[in-house]
Amino acid sequence: MAISADIKGTLVHVGDVVKVHQRILEGEKERIQIFEGIVISIRGRDENRSFTVRKIASAGIGVEKIFPIFSPWLAKIEIKKPFGRVRRGKLTYIRSKSIRQVAQISVQQTES
């Protein structure tokens, strides 16, 4: 179980709030779409590694995306807020928390 991974030259940890820039191909046009959320897991080995990012969309609905680390469709990844102190490899318990509780967890991580 990995707690961190090197993605496109950026060291990403579980618990980081990240912006993932993904290339989207629509017909013959290509554009960049940004998905911003918290990294809740990093899994796999060698070329099969992937990471899961979760965000809260409109109306409080949680949306998760799984990105392969070595995908050619990933343009870049930015760390918006570092992880603080996470003691778990996977943060799947965040799925059952409300928006307010997730915000409190991230504040506690940055204070310690």
30 lies in which domain range? 4-111
CATH number at residue 68: 2.30.30.790
* More confident call, 109 vs 11: 11
For 63-94, letters b (16+ CB in 10 Å) and e give: eeeebebeeeebeebeeeeebbebeeebbeeb
Position 107, amino acid? V
Question: Structurally, how many domains does the chain consist of?
Answer: 1
Tens of pLDDT, residue by residue over 27-80, are: 999 999 999 999 999 999 989 999 999 998 888 888 999 999 999 999 999 999
Question: Which residues are within 8 A (CB) of 103 and not within 5 positions of it... i.e. 6 or more apart?
Answer: none
Main-chain phi, psi angles of 59, to 5 degrees: 65, 20
pTM for the predicted model, two decimal places: 0.84
